[in-house]
Structure 1
Amino acid sequence: GAYLDMMMIHNLNFMNEVDALYEGYENTDPSLERIGALAALRDYRDGTNRTGLNPENKKLIRHIGFSGHHDPSVNMYMIQRDTEDLLDAMLVALNANDKLYFSMQNNVIPLAAEKDMGVIAMKVFADGAMFTKEATWTQTPDMVVQTVGSDMISSDKLVKYALTTPGVHVAIIGTGHISTEESECQLTNNLAAAQVLPDGLTEAERAEIEELAGKIKGGRTNYFQAEKRPLTAPENVSVVQKKIGSKRDVTISWNTAYAGDSPIASYEVWRDGAKLKQIPFRPQRTVKPFTLLESIEDKEAHTYVLKVIDSKNRIAESLPVILDNLA
């Protein structure tokens, strides 16, 4: 049986790292010059030897996951490339200043939830930068925060924020000091705060914690996370037509937009300046784009635009895409 409950690939920052991990995943062959880690881990999970790296057909791993501090779009690509639901969990940076950066909770966490993955929050205290430490990687013992919380924010608020974020199941939380005195023991305080239920904070309470956290170092705590982006337009919008008798079928396709500091609510497909259809948002599960099919009877050229609307009714739209006329 398996002796390692989970193997996690740590930590993704760039798209080409994802491509390297997936080498040989779809077309596994021992003769390949390069075989990525996922194909090999799959062999050790399933007891197979498709890579030639597990000749004894051992089953050594129960679950496979990955982590990412930096860029939610990279994490999303990692999940979207997984055509076999190989990935069971994601370890992801998530704290109360998340929305001041390229937001994890509004982008990759909903996708992980859509694919029924376990989500583990990390960097709940921003590696101590929420308290007294500078916003940089901890490199020496003297940089470890030895106090529980700070005058600006209590640690329990940050723990509760992470654990009440929709889609998050558990958190790995830094513990800089352990003591028999409960008020001075970070571990004791973490465990007490973690008793919160998934819906244990109201939206107003979460917003209050965000406001407090945003005042710490001017919000510049998440040095490990990509800079904030506004709501982006749907990507790779295209239109393709096929003549069917006296009509033509038009397929409009697009890839996901990325949310800013508010979640995406819907997409809208517009033709010639008029709204054709509104589509409630769902995360893009694979690299295969979203599509919408419509039939039209004329032979004229048309202009299509894809719009995305977030929960604050902000809009981003694609560049116009032209459907050619039929001769």
Structure 2
Amino acid sequence: MILWNLLISEQLDLRFSPSRGLTVRIVERPGQWMAPDELTTLIDECRDVATACLEGETLDYGILVPGSDAARRTIITMIYDNEGRPIAFNALPLIPATLGGERLEVLHLGLVMVHPSARSSGLSWILYGLTCFLLFVRRQLRPLWISSVTQVPAVVGMVCESFDGVWPGAPDARATFAHHYLGRHIALNHRIVFGVGPDAGFDDTRSVFTNAYTGGSDNLKKTFDVATKHRNEAYNAWCARELDYGRGDDVLQLGQLNLASARGFLLKSTPRHALPQLAVQVLLLGVQSVVAPLAQWLAGNRSLGRLRPFRQAKP
């Protein structure tokens, strides 16, 4: 029954244990299908982690806003400890866009929070890479555009090293037409997704938001000294040079998850003990994304909903 539900489900809903003492649940657009009570519990768990991280302060954007419909367009990853308590989450909004006449969705590396008691526990591979990788598999290994808005040098470097063709951030990064086009589209139409207010400026030549912390993300503003640094000093130097931390600047990075970067995630970021569980999830997603649609299409005598509905026989 679990396998059948996975095969026929339109939205991602996975639960598994990558290691002893941890349970991960990944849900795609829960606002579209999850029961109201269950959705309320999920969002409350996110708020509890965020409140612990911000020492009682709050954030006023995305899924954390009461009554928001952000959960209808967001993928949420929750991590629970061995007692079932939420210790970390990420909320990755899907941003609609059009590029070269083709409709696509940009996966935004959005809000990531880890409870103070669980920091330095090796959760970054789950929070930053796992959800992206599984969504990439579910979409038949087609290149997936990703975006990130941050002022933290460690995150700038992580994005540059985890994904392909990322701009800006790396010393040798080069912008393409797609980078500029998608950056302007996001800055003009979707800045509310990551809590940047309408009064913030956007320098599209550098892909930098100026005075960015006025749209609900105010309590995330950091000084350069406090912001977590990357082990590669080049990323720290880039952030110090390009971002005004007193004013509250953020960089908008854009790149792609493709076969090369997915391979890098498996080889470099995924702990060896988690590979068997991850392999099971990838196999099931592969069946759901490739094998099941093929089998359904070949069954010409059965309905496929709106794609191939049954016709009533004429009397």
Structure with a larger share of its residues in helix:
2
Q: Shorter chain as normaliser: what TM range?
A: under 0.3
Looking at CA atoms only, which structure, 1 or 2, has the larger radius of gyration?
1
Q: TM-score, normalised by structure 1?
A: 0.27
> TM (normalized to structure 2)?
0.28
